[in-house]
Structure formats: C-alpha cells, structure tokens
Amino acid sequence: MASVNMELVKKLREISGAGMMDCKNALEEAEGDIDKAFTILREKGIAKAGKRAGRSTGQGVVEAYLHQLGDDFPPQVGVLIEVNCETDFVAKGEDFRKMARELALQVAAASPRWVSREEVPDDVLVSERTVYEAKAALDGKPEQVIPKIVENQIESFLKENCLLEQPYWREPKTSVQDYIALHISKLQENIVVRRFARFNVREA
Amino acid sequence: MASVNMELVKKLREISGAGMMDCKNALEEAEGDIDKAFTILREKGIAKAGKRAGRSTGQGVVEAYLHQLGDDFPPQVGVLIEVNCETDFVAKGEDFRKMARELALQVAAASPRWVSREEVPDDVLVSERTVYEAKAALDGKPEQVIPKIVENQIESFLKENCLLEQPYWREPKTSVQDYIALHISKLQENIVVRRFARFNVREA
C-alpha cells in the first residue's frame, strides 16, 4: 500500500470535512493527488447522500456569524443560519456545528439570496428573463439564439444567488451542495439548510 | 443636596442604560425611589427622543444572540438584529452595541414577529379580527360591545407581537421603545431597529 503524506490527509480533511480514514483511502486511490482525492470523496459522498434525501430532519442547530472590518469597527454584516439533521446526537456533534459555521461564513462571503433554486420567486425569474432578452436584442443577437443566451444567463443567475449551487468558498471547485453531501455521507443523516438571514448595514 | 446611594445609581444605570449623571440627578429628584427615578429618566428621555425622530440613520451595527439550553446542547434558537444610528462614532461605542445586544436578547426571550405595528400585514389584522369577533359572538357577548372587545384584543395582539411595544425584559414596567428612547436621549442620535430574524429549530 502506498504511504500517504499525513499533511495531505490533514489538508483534505480540512477542505472536505470528511473523516480521517475516508481521506486516507481517497488519497491512496488518487496516488497522492489531492484534487483527484477530493473528487473521489465528493463522488462517493454524493452517491451516499442521494440515498438519504427526503428523510425527515427535525433536529438541528442555529449558528451566527458577525463580520467586523477591523478591531475598532462594530460588526456591520451578520448572518443567521438554521441547519437541520435527523437526530440530536448528530446536532450536538462538533462536525455538524463546524459545518453550520462554515455555511454561515459562506453566506457572509457570497451573499446568496435563497437556499435553493426552488425558492426563487417566479416574478424574479420573469423580470430577470425580460432584462436578458432586452439586452440580447439590443446587442443585435440573432433572434434564434436569444432563447439559448437567456437560459444560460438564468442558469448563471441561479448559481450565483442560490446558496446550494454556489462554489464553496474554501474549495471553489466544489459546490456548497456537494460540501453538504460529504457530511451527509460522513454523519449518515440527511442534512438540510432550512433558512438563513443576512443583514448588511450598508445595503439599502 | 441629598446624598444618593451609589449602589442605587449603579442599578438604575444598569436597567435604564442612561448616563451616570442623569441617573444621579433622577434619583435625587425622586428622593432615592428607584421606580420614580426610572419614570423621571424615561419621561425626559422620551421628550428628548421625540425631537430626533425622523433623522436619517445610515450607520449602525448587526448583533447576534444564540441560545443554548445547556452545555451539551447546540444552540437551537438564534437571533440576528440590525440597529441603526446616525454616525459611525455612535455605532462604534460600547453603549450602542450593548443596547443592540439587549435587543437581541429581547427578541430571543419574547419572540416578537414584527418591529413595529406599522409592519403588521393587513391580512394578519383582518384574520385576527375575524377570530376575535367569532369568539365574542360564541361567548354570547351583546352585539353593541363586540367592536370594543375586538379592538382591545387587537391592541393586546400588537403589544405582544411588536418588538417596540413589548415590555423590556429587564425592566417590564417600561416598553422596548422607551428603553431605546433613553439611548436616543443619552447618545443624542436617532436610533432605529431596522430588522431582526429569529430562528427556532423546534418551530414548524
């Protein structure tokens, strides 16, 4: 068996949130390539996570994050997030709370407006679509390609504004959804971000 | 001049948030009666605060409060609150931030649904009113007194569910609005609770 650099295992654990043995195995399988190992973990995690989707999540935790620009500044950006799981055993665990805190940081840093694309109100999509159509027409795009352009822009809009589809800030090659899937796989419970709030004093 | 017990001054400062000299003067005027002194402070504060209403509040702070039921419980109730003032000088001050933290505790403890009665949606009022009318009719109240009964119940509903009208948890004889007014008077700036969020894992 190839020997695996413990520094790499530690780093992979940090970015993936996965367990020690899973990280070690993935790194061995990837012959020490941390990017490959992360992809292996993620694919395994997502596969396992899929089986747990839809299971009832009545427990959970509320976490907060306040962002200060400097020592003598009061916090002017704040995030509150509720993350649910199946049992209070998992809710009490350090791994789960750490994940919830990471997600609060994600919301602070990346300013999502909704948890998932299912939550985006129809009138927002209609108004975005109208703007993209008008823009494409003004740019002189041929009429037959406009629907495709508009759909691509809607897709980008959703990826930018829905928490679960955003790139995870600590590991931008993976989505927030996949970061959560790694924890579903590790903790063996369904995990759901129920809601969040983000307040910024500077925003009108 | 009557000598004032420093313990009382300290206690009055704590419950009112007012300045040392204001507390001392109010206690002297009230001849050492802390309840009377609080009323004096409050009335002076409200009078001064009235003059500052409507002034622009572009600065402020975001505070959070997480409530744990015990050491081995994760936080299951969380509050995020944004409080605005006029200048960053006041926003940076310890008094202002302490007030914002007290208000976050208030929201955690007393579960308001809105900041002020102006924010309560019309359909909520209509539906509350319908319930109270039906209840009064079922109770066999005479028709001519029902409107008065309903209005009293609406008033109670608003006082219970609007943050600014709730009794301040540390000093239930005063309202949250009057607690804020004391700070407006002390800090000499208009102060506005812009918004809050309260998440509870146990709530459907």
User: What would the 3-class secondary structure string for B22-76 be?
Assistant: HHHHHHHHCCCCHHHHHHHHHHHHHHHHHHHCCCCCCEEEEEEEEECCCCCCCCC
pLDDT in tens, A120-145: 999 999 999 999 999 999 999 999 99
What pLDDT sits at residue B1?
A: 45
Answer whether A62 sits within 8 Å of B197, measured CB to CB: no
- Interchain proximity A78–B92, CB inside 8 Å: no
Question: CB contact, 8 Å: B138 with chain A?
Answer: no
**Whether the Cβ atoms of residue A48 and residue A185 lie closer than 8 Å to each other:** yes
Encoded tokens for A187: 């903790």
Q: Letter for the amino acid at B35?
A: D
pLDDT score of B131: 93
Residues 6 or more apart whose Cβ sits within 8 Å of residue B81? A199, B62, B63, B64, B100, B103, B104, B107, B193, B195, B196, B197
**Gap from B117 CA to chain A (nearest CA, Å):** 21
Please tell me the least confidently modeled range out of A48-62, A177-191, B165-179, B187-201.
Answer: A48-62
What parts of chain B have a pLDDT lower than 70? 1-3, 47, 204
Chain mean pLDDT for chain A: 90
A89 in reach of chain B (CB within 8 A): no
Q: Is the pLDDT of residue A14 over 90?
A: no
Radius of gyration, alpha carbons of chain B? 20
ipTM value:
0.79
First to last CA, chain A: 58
Task: Tell me how far apart the alpha carbons of residues A149 and A139 are, in angstroms, rounded to a whole number.
Answer: 12
Residue pLDDT, tens place only, A26-45: 899 999 888 888 888 888 87
For residue B200, the cross-strand partners are B77
A76–B60: do the CB atoms touch at under 8 Å?
yes
Q: How far apart are CA B189 and CA B170, in angstroms?
A: 23
Dihedral-angle region of residue B60 (phi above 0 means left; psi in -120 to 50 means alpha; beta otherwise): left
More confident position, A57 or A195: A195
Residues in B touching A203 (Cβ below 8 Å):
none
- Identity of the residue in A61, A195, A199 whose CB atom sits nearest the CB atom of B195: A199
Q: What is the pLDDT of residue A91?
A: 93
Q: What is the pLDDT of residues A78-94, one digit of tens each?
A: 999 999 999 999 999 99
Run of H or E including A81: strand A77-85
CA distance A71 to A114: 31
pLDDT for res B39 = 86
Which of A77, A80, A82 is nearest residue B201 as measured by Cβ atoms?
Answer: A82
Could you tell me how many residues make up chain B?
A: 204
Which of A100-104, A152-156, B135-139 shows the lowest per-residue confidence on average (mean pLDDT)? Answer: B135-139
Indicate which of A68, A81, A82 best probes the interface with B, i.e. most B CBs within 10 Å of its own CB: A82
